[in-house]
Protein backbone atom coordinates (compact mmCIF):
# COMPACT_ATOMS: atom_id res chain seq x y z
CA UNK A 1 0.00 0.00 0.00
CA UNK A 2 2.80 2.47 0.85
CA UNK A 3 4.42 1.69 -2.51
CA UNK A 4 1.18 2.53 -4.29
CA UNK A 5 0.82 5.72 -2.28
CA UNK A 6 4.35 6.79 -3.16
CA UNK A 7 3.71 6.05 -6.82
CA UNK A 8 0.64 8.25 -6.74
CA UNK A 9 2.54 11.01 -4.94
CA UNK A 10 5.48 10.91 -7.35
CA UNK A 11 3.26 10.86 -10.40
CA UNK A 12 1.31 13.83 -9.09
CA UNK A 13 4.58 15.68 -8.51
CA UNK A 14 5.88 14.93 -11.99
CA UNK A 15 2.67 16.33 -13.43
CA UNK A 16 3.26 19.51 -11.45
CA UNK A 17 0.09 19.25 -9.41
CA UNK A 18 1.52 19.08 -5.91
CA UNK A 19 0.57 21.61 -3.26
CA UNK A 20 3.24 24.27 -2.99
CA UNK A 21 3.67 27.37 -0.90
CA UNK A 22 4.24 30.14 -3.41
CA UNK A 23 5.03 33.68 -2.43
CA UNK A 24 5.18 37.07 -3.94
CA UNK A 25 8.49 38.88 -3.81
CA UNK A 26 7.77 41.03 -0.77
CA UNK A 27 10.02 42.16 2.05
CA UNK A 28 7.82 40.89 4.91
CA UNK A 29 6.91 37.60 3.31
CA UNK A 30 7.09 35.58 6.58
CA UNK A 31 4.24 37.58 8.10
CA UNK A 32 2.02 37.03 5.07
CA UNK A 33 2.35 33.27 4.54
CA UNK A 34 1.39 30.34 6.73
CA UNK A 35 4.22 27.83 6.37
CA UNK A 36 3.90 24.09 7.08
CA UNK A 37 5.59 22.81 10.25
CA UNK A 38 8.36 20.25 9.65
CA UNK A 39 8.56 17.00 11.60
CA UNK A 40 11.76 18.29 13.26
CA UNK A 41 9.86 21.30 14.60
CA UNK A 42 9.54 24.97 13.81
CA UNK A 43 12.62 26.82 12.67
CA UNK A 44 13.53 30.26 11.39
CA UNK A 45 12.84 31.75 7.99
CA UNK A 46 15.70 33.80 6.54
CA UNK A 47 15.02 36.49 3.98
CA UNK A 48 17.16 36.27 0.85
CA UNK A 49 17.33 38.68 -2.04
CA UNK A 50 17.30 37.65 -5.70
CA UNK A 51 16.91 39.34 -9.06
CA UNK A 52 13.24 38.33 -8.84
CA UNK A 53 12.74 39.94 -5.43
CA UNK A 54 12.96 38.86 -1.78
CA UNK A 55 11.97 35.41 -0.55
CA UNK A 56 12.22 33.35 2.63
CA UNK A 57 14.09 30.09 3.19
CA UNK A 58 13.62 27.81 6.20
CA UNK A 59 16.40 26.77 8.61
CA UNK A 60 16.55 25.08 12.00
CA UNK A 61 19.49 24.96 14.39
CA UNK A 62 20.27 21.77 16.31
CA UNK A 63 22.87 21.82 19.10
CA UNK A 64 25.36 24.45 20.12
CA UNK A 65 29.11 24.54 19.48
CA UNK A 66 31.07 27.72 18.72
CA UNK A 67 33.71 25.91 16.65
CA UNK A 68 31.80 23.16 14.78
CA UNK A 69 28.74 24.32 12.84
CA UNK A 70 27.50 22.33 9.83
CA UNK A 71 25.06 23.63 7.21
CA UNK A 72 23.32 20.77 5.39
CA UNK A 73 22.63 21.11 1.65
CA UNK A 74 20.02 18.62 0.49
CA UNK A 75 19.77 17.06 -2.94
CA UNK A 76 17.28 17.28 -5.75
CA UNK A 77 17.23 20.10 -6.58
CA UNK A 78 13.85 20.63 -4.98
CA UNK A 79 13.94 17.89 -2.32
CA UNK A 80 13.96 18.86 1.40
CA UNK A 81 15.97 18.69 4.62
CA UNK A 82 13.83 15.67 5.60
CA UNK A 83 16.38 13.45 3.84
CA UNK A 84 18.72 14.26 6.77
CA UNK A 85 16.45 13.60 9.72
CA UNK A 86 18.73 10.90 11.12
CA UNK A 87 21.57 13.43 11.50
CA UNK A 88 19.95 14.38 14.81
CA UNK A 89 20.72 10.87 16.09
CA UNK A 90 24.47 11.34 15.63
CA UNK A 91 25.85 14.88 15.40
CA UNK A 92 24.50 16.34 18.68
CA UNK A 93 25.99 13.48 20.71
CA UNK A 94 29.35 14.30 19.11
CA UNK A 95 29.00 17.94 20.18
CA UNK A 96 28.48 19.16 16.62
CA UNK A 97 26.02 21.97 15.92
CA UNK A 98 24.17 21.69 12.61
CA UNK A 99 21.49 23.40 10.58
CA UNK A 100 18.63 21.89 8.63
CA UNK A 101 17.91 24.06 5.60
CA UNK A 102 15.39 23.98 2.76
CA UNK A 103 16.71 25.76 -0.31
CA UNK A 104 14.49 28.21 -2.17
CA UNK A 105 11.87 26.24 -4.08
CA UNK A 106 11.75 23.43 -1.52
CA UNK A 107 8.69 22.56 0.52
CA UNK A 108 9.27 24.44 3.77
CA UNK A 109 10.68 27.54 2.04
CA UNK A 110 9.09 29.86 -0.49
CA UNK A 111 8.35 28.23 -3.83
CA UNK A 112 8.19 31.03 -6.39
CA UNK A 113 7.16 30.09 -9.89
CA UNK A 114 10.18 31.83 -11.45
CA UNK A 115 12.26 29.60 -13.77
CA UNK A 116 15.06 32.18 -13.91
CA UNK A 117 15.82 31.42 -10.25
CA UNK A 118 16.85 27.82 -10.88
CA UNK A 119 20.50 28.41 -11.72
CA UNK A 120 23.64 27.25 -9.92
CA UNK A 121 25.07 30.74 -9.42
CA UNK A 122 21.82 31.95 -7.88
CA UNK A 123 21.78 29.02 -5.44
CA UNK A 124 25.42 29.73 -4.51
CA UNK A 125 24.53 33.32 -3.69
CA UNK A 126 21.61 32.05 -1.60
CA UNK A 127 23.92 29.85 0.48
CA UNK A 128 26.18 32.83 1.09
CA UNK A 129 23.24 34.90 2.30
CA UNK A 130 22.16 32.07 4.61
CA UNK A 131 25.72 31.79 5.96
CA UNK A 132 25.79 35.49 6.80
CA UNK A 133 22.37 35.37 8.44
CA UNK A 134 23.40 32.40 10.62
CA UNK A 135 26.67 34.04 11.63
CA UNK A 136 28.89 31.25 10.28
CA UNK A 137 32.53 31.97 9.40
CA UNK A 138 35.93 30.43 8.66
CA UNK A 139 36.45 29.59 12.34
CA UNK A 140 33.45 27.26 12.53
CA UNK A 141 31.66 26.79 9.19
CA UNK A 142 31.52 23.30 7.70
CA UNK A 143 29.45 22.96 4.51
CA UNK A 144 27.92 19.55 3.85
CA UNK A 145 26.34 18.77 0.47
CA UNK A 146 24.83 15.51 -0.76
CA UNK A 147 23.97 14.75 -4.41
CA UNK A 148 22.82 18.08 -5.91
CA UNK A 149 23.87 19.57 -2.58
CA UNK A 150 27.37 18.33 -3.39
CA UNK A 151 27.34 20.31 -6.64
CA UNK A 152 26.21 23.35 -4.71
CA UNK A 153 28.85 22.80 -2.04
CA UNK A 154 31.68 22.51 -4.57
CA UNK A 155 30.53 25.60 -6.43
CA UNK A 156 30.26 27.51 -3.16
CA UNK A 157 33.79 26.48 -2.19
CA UNK A 158 35.17 27.67 -5.52
CA UNK A 159 33.67 31.12 -4.96
CA UNK A 160 33.64 31.58 -1.17
CA UNK A 161 36.04 29.07 0.36
CA UNK A 162 37.66 31.76 2.50
CA UNK A 163 34.49 31.55 4.58
CA UNK A 164 34.84 27.79 5.12
CA UNK A 165 36.50 25.71 7.79
CA UNK A 166 35.69 22.44 6.02
CA UNK A 167 33.74 20.94 3.10
CA UNK A 168 31.95 17.59 2.83
CA UNK A 169 31.00 16.26 -0.63
CA UNK A 170 28.68 13.28 -0.21
CA UNK A 171 27.57 10.98 -3.02
CA UNK A 172 28.30 13.42 -5.84
CA UNK A 173 30.71 13.32 -8.77
CA UNK A 174 32.47 16.41 -10.11
CA UNK A 175 31.09 15.95 -13.64
CA UNK A 176 27.57 15.32 -14.91
CA UNK A 177 28.89 14.04 -18.29
CA UNK A 178 30.98 11.50 -16.34
CA UNK A 179 27.92 10.61 -14.26
CA UNK A 180 25.83 10.08 -17.40
CA UNK A 181 28.56 7.86 -18.85
CA UNK A 182 28.65 5.80 -15.65
CA UNK A 183 24.85 5.57 -15.65
CA UNK A 184 24.71 4.23 -19.20
CA UNK A 185 27.80 2.00 -19.14
CA UNK A 186 27.58 0.62 -15.60
CA UNK A 187 24.31 1.30 -13.80
CA UNK A 188 22.04 0.29 -16.66
CA UNK A 189 23.86 -3.06 -16.98
CA UNK A 190 22.74 -3.90 -13.45
CA UNK A 191 19.09 -3.88 -14.53
CA UNK A 192 17.60 -6.94 -16.23
CA UNK A 193 17.66 -6.45 -20.01
CA UNK A 194 13.92 -6.88 -20.45
CA UNK A 195 13.15 -4.53 -17.55
CA UNK A 196 15.59 -1.93 -18.87
CA UNK A 197 13.98 -2.15 -22.29
CA UNK A 198 10.59 -1.42 -20.76
CA UNK A 199 12.00 1.53 -18.79
CA UNK A 200 13.66 2.91 -21.91
CA UNK A 201 10.47 2.55 -23.93
CA UNK A 202 8.65 4.76 -21.42
CA UNK A 203 11.48 7.32 -21.53
CA UNK A 204 11.66 7.31 -25.32
CA UNK A 205 7.92 8.04 -25.38
CA UNK A 206 8.38 10.64 -22.61
CA UNK A 207 5.71 8.71 -20.72
CA UNK A 208 7.15 9.54 -17.30
CA UNK A 209 3.68 9.78 -15.76
CA UNK A 210 2.91 6.13 -16.36
CA UNK A 211 2.58 4.27 -13.03
CA UNK A 212 4.27 1.20 -14.54
CA UNK A 213 7.36 3.29 -15.30
CA UNK A 214 7.69 4.48 -11.72
CA UNK A 215 6.97 1.03 -10.34
CA UNK A 216 9.77 -0.46 -12.48
CA UNK A 217 12.21 2.19 -11.27
CA UNK A 218 11.38 1.65 -7.62
CA UNK A 219 11.55 -2.14 -7.77
CA UNK A 220 14.64 -2.42 -9.98
CA UNK A 221 16.64 0.75 -9.29
CA UNK A 222 15.60 2.75 -6.21
CA UNK A 223 15.77 -0.12 -3.70
CA UNK A 224 19.16 -1.21 -5.07
CA UNK A 225 20.91 2.12 -5.61
CA UNK A 226 19.03 4.95 -3.90
CA UNK A 227 18.37 3.30 -0.52
CA UNK A 228 19.08 -0.40 -0.10
CA UNK A 229 16.02 -1.46 1.82
CA UNK A 230 12.61 -2.77 0.77
CA UNK A 231 10.47 0.27 0.18
CA UNK A 232 8.17 -0.54 3.09
CA UNK A 233 11.22 -0.14 5.35
CA UNK A 234 12.34 3.23 4.02
CA UNK A 235 12.59 5.91 6.75
CA UNK A 236 9.54 8.12 7.02
CA UNK A 237 11.66 11.23 6.47
CA UNK A 238 12.91 9.95 3.12
CA UNK A 239 9.38 9.12 1.97
CA UNK A 240 8.18 12.57 3.05
CA UNK A 241 11.08 14.22 1.21
CA UNK A 242 10.03 12.48 -2.00
CA UNK A 243 6.39 13.39 -1.45
CA UNK A 244 7.43 17.03 -0.97
CA UNK A 245 9.73 17.19 -4.00
CA UNK A 246 9.09 20.26 -6.18
CA UNK A 247 9.06 19.18 -9.85
CA UNK A 248 9.17 22.80 -11.01
CA UNK A 249 12.74 22.93 -9.73
CA UNK A 250 13.79 19.30 -10.13
CA UNK A 251 12.79 18.61 -13.73
CA UNK A 252 14.25 21.77 -15.36
CA UNK A 253 17.60 21.22 -13.63
CA UNK A 254 17.94 17.42 -13.35
CA UNK A 255 15.58 16.26 -16.10
CA UNK A 256 12.77 13.71 -15.76
CA UNK A 257 14.84 10.50 -16.06
CA UNK A 258 16.38 8.81 -13.02
CA UNK A 259 18.97 7.03 -15.18
CA UNK A 260 21.00 10.13 -15.95
CA UNK A 261 20.70 13.92 -16.09
CA UNK A 262 19.27 15.83 -19.04
CA UNK A 263 18.30 19.21 -17.62
CA UNK A 264 20.23 22.44 -17.06
CA UNK A 265 22.89 20.47 -15.17
CA UNK A 266 23.62 18.19 -18.12
CA UNK A 267 26.97 19.77 -19.06
CA UNK A 268 28.10 20.75 -15.56
CA UNK A 269 31.73 19.74 -15.01
CA UNK A 270 34.32 21.16 -12.58
CA UNK A 271 36.91 18.38 -12.73
CA UNK A 272 39.55 20.83 -13.93
CA UNK A 273 38.85 23.12 -10.97
CA UNK A 274 39.04 20.58 -8.13
CA UNK A 275 42.63 21.55 -7.35
CA UNK A 276 41.41 25.06 -6.56
CA UNK A 277 39.47 23.78 -3.54
CA UNK A 278 42.03 24.12 -0.76
CA UNK A 279 39.95 23.85 2.41
CA UNK A 280 39.94 20.52 4.29
CA UNK A 281 37.52 18.29 2.40
CA UNK A 282 35.86 14.93 2.93
CA UNK A 283 34.56 13.06 -0.12
CA UNK A 284 32.10 10.24 0.60
CA UNK A 285 31.40 7.48 -1.92
CA UNK A 286 29.42 4.25 -1.71
CA UNK A 287 29.65 0.86 -3.41
CA UNK A 288 26.05 0.72 -4.63
CA UNK A 289 25.58 4.43 -5.33
CA UNK A 290 24.22 5.80 -8.60
CA UNK A 291 27.41 7.87 -8.57
CA UNK A 292 30.74 6.22 -9.44
CA UNK A 293 32.64 5.59 -6.17
CA UNK A 294 35.89 5.29 -8.14
CA UNK A 295 35.41 8.79 -9.51
CA UNK A 296 34.72 10.13 -6.04
CA UNK A 297 37.86 8.49 -4.69
CA UNK A 298 39.79 10.10 -7.56
CA UNK A 299 38.27 13.47 -6.63
CA UNK A 300 39.85 13.16 -3.19
CA UNK A 301 43.27 12.90 -4.86
CA UNK A 302 42.69 16.08 -6.87
CA UNK A 303 41.64 18.28 -3.96
CA UNK A 304 44.88 19.15 -2.14
CA UNK A 305 43.62 18.72 1.42
CA UNK A 306 41.05 15.95 1.03
CA UNK A 307 40.34 12.48 2.34
CA UNK A 308 38.02 9.77 1.05
CA UNK A 309 35.47 7.70 2.98
CA UNK A 310 34.08 4.59 1.30
CA UNK A 311 30.75 3.05 2.32
CA UNK A 312 30.91 -0.68 1.41
CA UNK A 313 27.22 -1.24 2.20
CA UNK A 314 25.94 2.14 1.08
CA UNK A 315 23.97 3.51 -1.86
CA UNK A 316 23.01 7.07 -2.77
CA UNK A 317 21.52 7.69 0.68
CA UNK A 318 24.34 5.91 2.50
CA UNK A 319 23.58 7.84 5.69
CA UNK A 320 20.84 5.23 6.07
CA UNK A 321 22.09 1.98 4.57
CA UNK A 322 25.66 2.28 5.91
CA UNK A 323 24.72 4.50 8.83
CA UNK A 324 27.36 3.70 11.44
CA UNK A 325 30.34 3.93 9.11
CA UNK A 326 28.91 7.02 7.44
CA UNK A 327 28.54 9.03 10.63
CA UNK A 328 31.78 7.74 12.14
CA UNK A 329 33.60 9.02 9.04
CA UNK A 330 31.76 12.33 9.04
CA UNK A 331 32.24 13.00 12.74
CA UNK A 332 35.91 11.99 12.64
CA UNK A 333 36.58 14.40 9.78
CA UNK A 334 34.88 17.34 11.48
CA UNK A 335 36.60 16.60 14.78
CA UNK A 336 40.02 16.22 13.12
CA UNK A 337 39.69 19.54 11.34
CA UNK A 338 38.52 21.18 14.55
CA UNK A 339 41.50 19.88 16.56
CA UNK A 340 44.36 19.39 14.08
CA UNK A 341 47.34 17.34 15.18
CA UNK A 342 50.61 19.22 15.57
Q: Provide the pairing of β-strand 53-62 with 44-50.
A: antiparallel
Q: How many CA atoms lie within 13 A of 227 on its CB side?
A: 18
How far apart, in whole angstroms, are the C-alpha atoms of residue 172 and residue 219?
23
Helix (H, G, I), strand (E, B) or coil at 150: helix
Cα separation values, 108 from 40, 65, 111, 118, Å: 12, 25, 9, 17
Q: Burial code of 287-321, b = ≥16 C-beta within 10 A, e = fewer? A: ebbbbbbebbebbbebbeebebbbbeebbbbbbbb
Contact present, 260 and 180 (Cβ < 8 Å): yes
Residues annotated as part of the active site: 147, 289, 316
How far apart, in whole angstroms, are the C-alpha atoms of residue 303 and residue 266?
23
The CA-based dihedral angle spanning residues 178, 182, 183, 188, taken in that order and rounded to the nearest 10 degrees:
160
Amino acid sequence: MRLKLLLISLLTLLMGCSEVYNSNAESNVSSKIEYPTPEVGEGTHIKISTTEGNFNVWTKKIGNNPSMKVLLLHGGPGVTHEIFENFSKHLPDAGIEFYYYDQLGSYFSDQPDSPDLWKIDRFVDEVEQVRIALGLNESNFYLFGQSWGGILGMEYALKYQNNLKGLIISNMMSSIPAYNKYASEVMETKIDTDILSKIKSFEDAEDYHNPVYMELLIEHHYVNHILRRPFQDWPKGVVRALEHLNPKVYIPMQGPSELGASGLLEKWDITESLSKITVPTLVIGAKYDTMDPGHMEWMSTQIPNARYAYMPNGSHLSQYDDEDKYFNSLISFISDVNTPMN
